[in-house]
Amino acid sequence: MKKVLILGSTGSIGTQALEVIGRSEELQAVGLAAGTAWETAVEQAREHGVPVIALADEGAAERARGGWSGRVLSGEEGVRELITATEPDLVLNAIVGAAGLGSTIVALSEGIDVALANKESLVLGGELVMALAEATGARLLPVDSEHSALFQLIGAEAPGTVDRLVLTASGGPFRGRDDLAGVSVSEALAHPTWRMGGRITIDSATLMNKGFEAIEAHHLFAVPYERIDVVVHPQSLIHSLIHLNDGSSLAHLGYPDMRVPISYALHHPERADVDVPQLDLAAAGSLTFEEPDLETFACLRLALAAGAAGGTAPCVLNAADEVAVAAFLAERIPFTAIPAVIERVLEEMPARPLTHFDDLFAADAEARERSEEQVRGLMPA
């Protein structure tokens, strides 16, 4: 029985992971962590027989203690203590944003394998995180559908035979548009394929998410950026491709359902049954592909440039994006101001080399302050 700790259990990935665990005889949830949704976390713990939970919000943790007899840890330190207290075989890190980096560091430092849905762990600190994993022997198992696909495709090939990686993008709700002025929050949240949280849905609409995924792929698979491509594929049936040295290409196909990559990561190296229909190619019809518009969707261009710059640049990119997206969702700035804020902060904070995780936390804090200044400057008087 594989013991699994789920960080971010009340979010989209976490709830689907619990669904996968509930259907499996090989997996057992031993701990859950969430932010403020204590009622949902307690309900999940009761349903799955989990004895201990952690809530990052102190007030939510206090309320959980009054409504449940199990053990409740609190605060960010409580979330990290949960990793050592439950002694899991695998940590599923589905915390959203930069807040998930600390948990990845703790798990890897303990030599625990991490099923990684928190892409920011690699966007912010890929160089240091990958070095830590190598030093402790812990594995990073990708949960994003694109990276799960690449992980499976690359793993089936001999070393040195993969020439290029291709990440596919749905194009988001604004594919084909060249004027994004006046876009509303509700329009930007109407993703054509996936149901996700607010921040990642906006990142998909700006194509920033695909830039983050390119940075993540660079670190996970040790492939230089010049050998990573992004192509828009609106049907979202091909999740990624690899080009091989003999001129052939391999693709990973399937209906878009996050339970598939979640199950693969949790059961790895085995493959378990998932209640998802097999792909019907005849019913699917045509599969189409387009080059991404890097002028209209400047966030993708900025992400690729930050990734190539390395050092603190991806960390600054992520911090500025988190602040700008939150400001857009709060209707403080227009949609088109998101890349403007990010670009200005990247210009103000040129890439610096990384020597320690403290360098990341310092760059993250400074970038957030500068981003807030940019947001305030863009707000109407």
Pick the last residue of a domain from 142, 160, 177: 142
Q: What is the mean pLDDT of residues 138-164?
A: 96
Sequence-distant (≥ 6) Cβ neighbours of residue 308 within 8 angstroms: 225
pLDDT value, residue 196: 65
Whether 65 is covered by a domain: the verdict is: yes
Whether 289 is covered by a domain: the verdict is: yes
Whether 88 is covered by a domain: the verdict is: yes
CATH number at residue 303: 1.10.1740.10
Counting the structural domains of the chain, the total is 2
Distance of CA 312 to the CA centre of its chain: 19
Pick the last residue of a domain from 86, 113, 142: 142
Instruction: Kindly state whether residues 90 and 197 are assigned to the same domain.
Output: no
Q: What percent of the chain has pLDDT over 90?
A: 85
pLDDT value, residue 98: 82
Q: What is the mean pLDDT of residues 46-63?
A: 95
pLDDT value, residue 195: 65
Instruction: Kindly state whether residues 300 and 185 are assigned to the same domain.
Output: yes
Any idea what DSSP says for residue 22? H
What 3-state DSSP class applies to 295?
coil
Q: How confident is the model at residue 179 (pLDDT cuts 50, 70, 90)?
A: confident
pLDDT in tens, 358-367: 999 999 999 9
Q: Is the pLDDT of residue 124 over 80?
A: yes
pLDDT value, residue 118: 94
Average pLDDT value for the chain:
94
pLDDT in tens, 258-312: 999 999 999 999 999 999 999 999 999 999 999 999 999 999 999 999 999 999 9
Any idea what DSSP says for residue 290? B
Instruction: Kindly state whether residues 104 and 242 are assigned to the same domain.
Output: no
Q: How confident is the model at residue 210 (pLDDT cuts 50, 70, 90)?
A: very high
Whether 265 is covered by a domain: the verdict is: no
Q: Is the pLDDT of residue 231 over 80?
A: yes
Torsional class of 355: left (φ above 0), alpha (ψ -120 to 50), beta (otherwise): alpha
CATH number at residue 51: 3.40.50.720
pLDDT in tens, 59-94: 999 999 998 999 999 998 998 899 999 999 999 999
Instruction: Kindly state whether residues 168 and 309 are assigned to the same domain.
Output: yes
- Enclosing domain of residue 12: 2-142
Whether 164 is covered by a domain: the verdict is: yes
Sequence-distant (≥ 6) Cβ neighbours of residue 55 within 8 angstroms: 33, 34, 35, 36, 38, 41, 61, 64, 72, 73, 74, 78
In angstroms, the CA 266 to CA 282 distance is 31
Of the candidates 287, 368, 280, 264, the one whose C-alpha atom is nearest the C-alpha of residue 326 is 368
In angstroms, the CA 96 to CA 143 distance is 13
Whether 133 is covered by a domain: the verdict is: yes
Q: Kindly give the pairing relationship between strand 113-116 and strand 140-142.
A: parallel
Instruction: Kindly state whether residues 333 and 200 are assigned to the same domain.
Output: yes
Q: What is the mean pLDDT of residues 177-197?
A: 80
- As a residue count, the chain comes to 381
Whether 29 is covered by a domain: the verdict is: yes
Pick the last residue of a domain from 117, 142, 167: 142
Instruction: Kindly state whether residues 111 and 211 are assigned to the same domain.
Output: no
Q: Is the pLDDT of residue 381 over 60?
A: no
Instruction: Kindly state whether residues 88 and 163 are assigned to the same domain.
Output: no
Sequence-distant (≥ 6) Cβ neighbours of residue 40 within 8 angstroms: 10, 34
Q: Is the pLDDT of residue 96 over 90?
A: no
Instruction: Kindly state whether residues 76 and 194 are assigned to the same domain.
Output: no
pLDDT value, residue 263: 98
Whether 263 is covered by a domain: the verdict is: no
In angstroms, the CA 105 to CA 260 distance is 26
Q: How confident is the model at residue 380 (pLDDT cuts 50, 70, 90)?
A: low
pLDDT value, residue 216: 97
Q: What is the mean pLDDT of residues 183-209?
A: 83
Please state the pTM of the whole predicted model.
0.93
Q: Is the pLDDT of residue 120 over 70?
A: yes
